[in-house]
Amino acid sequence: MTVLARYRMRMAMPGEDEERLGRLIVACWREAYPGILPESLLDGMDRVREAAKWKRSLETGIAWIAEQSGEPVGIGHMQGAEVTTLYVRKADQGEGLGAELLARMFEEIACLGRREAFLWALEENRKARAFYERLGGRLVARRPVGFRRHPNIMEVRYDFVLD
């Protein structure tokens, strides 16, 4: 597969990858969400705060990182049957990384004995939603994201049957 020829996939390591993942998430949010999330929210993101969140996330779930030349360009994280995170840098989209990361999350979930997986996506993120629908995701729910200052921002849930 060409994805593996250009990119290296590996599991994220607790105690080693939090800072890199904090930087990656800030970059991905700032690339993916202009016009979807308020600019003040994106400007207020902090890689140190995000790294602290990743410390907790890597203790409670499993994450895979896609790297190119030693730098992370994509991340997928799961906890239980939920894919909690799936991001790929804009410059690396269209290379199959998102599908590869999602497949790895689904494999991890299936190893837990689960037959279904789910994830939440911002309702206004049409590109991500089309991607999940192409991969067989079934839209099943809608709810507020939970941003206290932005109660009208909604997210939608996609369920996937694991084979």
Closest to 67 in 3D by CA, of 13, 139, 121:
13
**Percent of the chain topping pLDDT 90:** 91
Domains of the chain by start residue, with CATH: 2-161 (3.40.630.30)
CB atoms within 10 A of CB 69: 8
- Residues 159 and 116: beta-carbon distance below 8 Å: yes
What pLDDT was estimated at residue 150? 85
pLDDT tens figures, 50-68: 999 999 999 999 999 999 9
Regions of the chain short of the pLDDT cut 70 = 1-4
Sign of CA dihedral 79, 80, 84, 89: positive
What pLDDT was estimated at residue 1? 44
What pLDDT was estimated at residue 4? 57
DSSP result, 19-71: HHHHHHHHHHHHHH-BTTB-HHHHHT--HHHHHHHHHHHHHHSEEEEEEETTE
Note if the pTM is more than 0.85.
yes
What pLDDT was estimated at residue 3? 59
